[in-house]
C-alpha cells in the first residue's frame, strides 16, 4: 500500500516513469510517507544511511557506479542542510542527483514550530532546479504538483547533468497507507532534434491535429512553403489570427469562429486529438474549449528552451526546437503526404466559411471602424495594434498578407502601445499605422513627446470616452456605476496635444466622416503625420458587437467573461 498523500503518490509514480529506482533514505518522521511508499514497491532499491552528510555522498557513489540518476531522501529541518556538501559536489561534477526533502506546511515557517527552516533557498547556487510542491487539496493542486515533479526530473540531464531538489510539504508527520495503486499517469517527455521522430510523425498522421500558431514575425517565402508542406503531410489545421502574420495553405483564421461557437459544438465537431502550440500570444478563444477537452487530448509544446508550458493541463510532450525546426523535422520524417483535403481541415473550413455573412449592415461603431481600417491599409505597410479591444476588433477582418502586424501581447497590458509604435514607425521607410483605444492612448500619450515623429505615421484613436470592454463583459444592467470607475469614463480629446506635436488632425463623428478619414489614411505618402480621432459611444459599441454575433446557431448565449462577472456581482 502507498501513502494516501496525493503529492507522495505522484512523486513515487513519476520516479517509476522516469526509471529512477535507486533511493538513499535517511530516517525521520516527516519523510515516512515517502520512504514507506518506496520500500513497499519492488521497483525501488532503498539504501538506508543515517547521516545525511554521508547519505548524499553515498548517492554520488551510486551515480558514479551505475551512470544513472539517483535520489536521496530526508526529513525536514536541519537534516536538509546536511546535504549541502554532497549537492555542491554533484553540481561541479555534473552528476544527476535528485534531492527529495520532506517538509512541513509552509504556513508554519518562522512561527516557532519545530523542524522548520527555509528548505528551498539554501541550494540555489548549486542546483539546476528547485521545485516546491503544493499541498494537494484539489485537482488543480495535483496538476501543478505533477508538472513541477516532471520539470525537476527532466532538468537532471537537460543541457548537461546536475542536481535538482524536490521539496515535499506535508500536513501530517505520518500518513495512512491505504492506497493500493499509484496514479495512472504518463511522464512528460522532452524531445530533441537529434532523436528519431518517426513514431511521433506517425502519431500526427493518425490523429486530428490542431496547431495554435501564435504571435510571430512574417515568414520568408521559403519558410512559408515549409509550413505548407508540414500541413499537407500531417493533415494538421493551423489556427492563426491577425498577430500570426501567416496566411497560407493549411491555415484557418479562428478568432471570429471562437467567439460564436459553444463548448458543446467545439467538442462534437472540432476537438483535436493532439494540440500543438507554436509561439505564444494567442488571441483566439479556442483556448478555453481546449482546456475543457483535456481529458481526451494530448498537448505538444514546442519551444526553443524546452520549458514545460502546461497551458491546457494535459501536456504530454515538449519539443526543444523552434517552430520552423519542429515543422521541418516532422515534414522530413514523413515520406508520403495525406490526401490534399482531409476531413478535419474541411470541417474547420466549412465552419469558417459560414461566417462570411453580410457585414455591410454594421452601423457606425468601433467595429465598423475596424472593418474600414483593415480595408485601406496599403500593401507592405506596418501596423501596430494596441492590446485589448483594438486587437480583438481587427481580428474579425482580413488584412492583406503583406501587412506586418505588431502588438504588445506578451503580458496583455494596455501600457506602452504608442511608445512601441513610435519606435517602429520612426525606423521604417513605409507607411506605419497604429490603431489604439482611448485609455491606452492617454496612458501612453508622452510617447509623442520626443524628436522621433515622422511623416510616415498614421495614428487612429478610437475615443469612446472609456472602456467598451466592460460594457460588453459586465454591462450597466449588472453594475449601474460601471462608468464611474470600472470603465473609467472621461471627456478627454487628443486634438490639442497631437497638433502641438506636428500631426495633421481629423475628427470623425459619423460614417460619412469615417469614409473621408479612411481615404486620407490610404495615401502612401504625406508631408506630415496624420492623426485620426474617431468618436463612438461605448455602450452602442458593445451593443453592436453583441448583435454581430447574433443569428449564429453555434453561438454561446453569453460571453464567458460576462457570465463570470455577473455571477460575482450578483452575490
Spatial separation of the C-alpha atoms in residues 37 and 182, rounded to whole Å: 10
**The three three-digit cell numbers of residue 16, written as one number:** 517509476
Helix H, strand E, coil C: the string for 361-419 is CCCCCHHHHHHHHHHHCCCCCEEEECCCHHHHHHCCCCCCCCCEEECCCCCCCCCCHHH
How distant is the alpha carbon of residue 93 from its chain centre?
36
Q: How far is CA 93 from CA 63, 160, 512, in A?
A: 11, 11, 74
Confidence (pLDDT) at 118? 82
Q: How far is CA 137 from CA 2, 103, 152, 184, in A?
A: 18, 16, 21, 19
Structural element, H or E, at residue 266: helix 263-269
Which domains, ranges and CATH numbers included, belong to the chain?
6-187 (3.40.50.970), 191-351 (3.40.50.1220), 366-569 (3.40.50.970)
Confidence (pLDDT) at 561? 41
List CB contacts of 286: < 8 A, sequence separation 6 or more: 210, 212, 239, 254, 257, 258, 266
How distant is the alpha carbon of residue 384 from its chain centre?
21
10-residue mean pLDDT profile of the chain (571 residues): values are 95 98 94 95 97 96 97 93 95 97 82 75 93 93 96 97 96 80 94 96 94 95 96 94 94 89 90 94 86 88 94 94 97 78 87 71 92 95 92 91 92 88 95 95 94 96 88 81 84 96 97 96 93 94 84 51 41 36
Query: Rounded to the nearest 10 degrees, how much is the dihedral formed by the CA atoms of 369, 375, 378, 380?
Result: 100
Residue position matching grid coordinates 505618402: 525
Helix, strand, or coil here: 213?
A: strand
Confidence (pLDDT) at 288? 86
Q: How would DSSP label each residue in 421-456?
A: HHHHHHT-SS-EEEEEEHHHHHHTGGGGSSS---TT
Helix, strand, or coil here: 293?
A: coil
- Cut 0.85: pTM above it: yes
Spatial separation of the C-alpha atoms in residues 341 and 505, rounded to whole Å: 50
* Category of 66 on φ-ψ map: left (φ > 0), alpha (ψ -120 to 50) or beta: alpha
* CA angle at 157 for the pair 154 and 163, rounded to the nearest 5°: 90
Confidence (pLDDT) at 565? 41
Confidence (pLDDT) at 183? 93
Spatial separation of the C-alpha atoms in residues 169 and 7, rounded to whole Å: 9
Say if residue 111 is exposed, middle or buried (CB neighbours under 10 Å; 0-12, 13-18, 19+): exposed
Asked if residue 143 lies in contact with residue 313, where contact means CB atoms within 8 angstroms, the answer is yes
Which of 162, 18, 13, 24 has the alpha carbon at shortest distance from 97? 162
Confidence (pLDDT) at 370? 95
Spatial separation of the C-alpha atoms in residues 534 and 546, rounded to whole Å: 20
Spatial separation of the C-alpha atoms in residues 317 and 184, rounded to whole Å: 17
Residue position matching grid coordinates 495535483: 142
* Category of 80 on φ-ψ map: left (φ > 0), alpha (ψ -120 to 50) or beta: alpha
Spatial separation of the C-alpha atoms in residues 93 and 161, rounded to whole Å: 9
Establish how many alpha carbons lie within 13 A of residue 219's alpha carbon, considering only the half-sphere containing its beta carbon.
Answer: 19
Number of H helices, E strands in the chain: 22, 19
Helix H, strand E, coil C: the string for 13-31 is HHHHHCCCCEEEECCCCCC
Spatial separation of the C-alpha atoms in residues 499 and 125, rounded to whole Å: 55
Task: Give me the helix-helix angle, 198-206 and 221-234, nearest 10°.
Answer: 70
Amino acid at each position: 500500500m502507498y501513502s494516501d498523500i496525493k503529492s507522495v503518490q505522484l512523486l513515487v509514480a513519476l520516479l517509476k516513469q522516469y526509471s529512477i529506482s535507486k533511493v538513499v533514505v535517511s530516517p525521520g518522521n516527516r519523510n515516512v510517507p515517502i520512504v514507506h511508499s518506496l520500500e513497499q514497491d519492488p521497483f525501488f532499491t532503498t539504501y538506508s544511511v543515517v547521516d545525511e552528510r554521508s547519505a548524499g555522498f553515498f548517492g554520488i557513489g551510486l551515480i558514479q557506479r551505475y551512470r544513472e540518476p539517483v535520489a536521496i531522501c530526508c526529513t525536514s529541518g536541519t537534516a536538509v542542510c546536511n546535504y549541502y556538501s554532497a549537492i555542491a559536489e554533484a553540481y561541479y561534477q555534473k552528476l544527476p542527483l535528485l534531492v527529495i526533502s520532506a517538509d512541513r506546511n509552509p504556513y508554519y515557517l518562522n512561527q516557532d514550530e519545530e523542524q522548520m527552516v527555509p528548505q528551498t533557498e539554501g541550494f540555489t547556487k548549486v542546483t539546476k532546479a528547485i521545485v516546491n510542491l503544493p499541498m494537494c487539496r484539489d485537482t488543480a493542486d495535483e496538476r501543478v504538483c505533477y508538472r513541477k515533479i516532471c520539470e525537476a526530473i527532466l532538468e537532471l540531464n537537460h543541457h548537461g547533468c546536475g542536481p535538482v531538489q524536490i521539496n515535499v510539504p506535508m500536513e501530517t508527520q505520518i500518513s495512512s497507507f491505504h492506497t493500493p495503486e499509484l496514479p495512472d499517469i504518463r511522464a512528460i517527455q522532452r524531445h530533441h532534434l537529434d532523436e528519431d521522430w518517426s513514431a511521433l510523425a506517425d502519431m500526427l498522421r493518425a490523429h486530428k491535429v490542431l496547431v495554435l500558431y501564435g504571435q510571430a514575425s512574417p515568414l520568408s517565402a521559403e519558410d512559408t512553403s515549409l509550413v505548407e508542406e508540414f500541413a499537407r503531410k500531417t493533415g494538421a489545421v493551423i489556427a492563426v489570427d491577425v498577430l500570426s502574420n501567416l496566411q497560407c495553405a493549411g491555415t484557418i483564421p479562428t478568432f471570429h469562429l471562437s467567439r460564436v461557437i459553444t463548448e458543446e459544438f467545439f467538442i462534437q465537431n472540432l476537438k483535436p486529438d493532439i494540440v500543438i502550440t507554436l509561439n505564444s500570444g494567442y488571441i483566439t478563444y479556442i483556448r478555453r474549449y481546449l482546456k475543457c477537452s483535456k481529458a481526451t487530448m494530448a498537448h505538444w509544446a514546442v519551444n526553443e528552451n524546452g520549458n514545460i508550458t502546461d497551458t491546457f493541463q494535459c501536456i504530454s510532450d515538449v519539443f526543444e526546437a523552434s517552430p520552423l525546426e519542429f515543422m521541418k523535422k516532422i515534414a522530413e520524417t514523413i515520406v508520403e503526404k495525406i490526401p490534399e483535403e482531409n476531413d478535419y481541415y474541411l470541417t474547420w473550413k466549412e465552419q469558417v466559411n459560414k461566417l462570411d455573412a453580410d457585414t455591410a449592415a454594421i452601423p457606425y461603431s468601433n467595429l465598423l471602424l475596424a472593418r474600414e481600417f483593415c480595408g485601406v491599409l496599403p500593401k507592405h505597410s506596418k501596423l501596430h495594434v494596441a492590446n485589448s479591444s483594438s486587437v480583438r476588433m481587427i481580428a474579425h477582418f482580413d488584412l492583406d498578407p503583406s501587412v506586418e502586424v505588431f502588438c504588445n501581447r506578451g503580458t496583455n497590458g494596455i501600457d506602452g502601445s504608442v511608445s512601441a509604435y513610435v519606435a517602429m514607425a520612426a525606423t521604417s521607410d513605409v507607411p506605419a499605422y497604429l490603431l489604439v483605444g482611448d485609455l491606452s492612448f492617454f496612458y501612453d500619450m508622452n510617447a509623442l513627446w520626443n524628436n522621433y515623429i515622422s511623416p510616415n505615421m498614421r495614428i487612429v484613436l478610437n475615443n469612446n470616452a472609456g472602456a467598451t470592454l466592460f460594457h460588453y463583459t459586465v454591462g450597466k444592467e449588472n453594475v449601474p456605476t460601471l462608468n464611474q470607475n470600472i470603465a473609467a469614463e472621461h471627456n478627454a480629446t487628443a486634438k490639442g496635444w497631437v497638433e502641438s506635436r506636428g500631426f495633421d488632425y481629423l475628427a470623425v463623428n459619423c460614417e460619412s466622416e469615417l469614409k473621408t478619414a479612411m481615404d486620407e489614411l490610404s495615401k502612401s505618402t504625406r508631408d506630415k503625420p496624420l492623426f485620426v480621432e474617431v468618436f463612438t459611444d461605448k455602450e452602442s459599441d458593445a451593443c453592436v458587437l453583441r448583435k454581430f454575433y447574433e443569428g449564429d446557431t453555434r453561438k454561446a448565449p453569453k460571453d464567458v467573461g460576462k457570465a463570470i462577472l455577473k455571477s460575482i456581482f450578483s452575490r
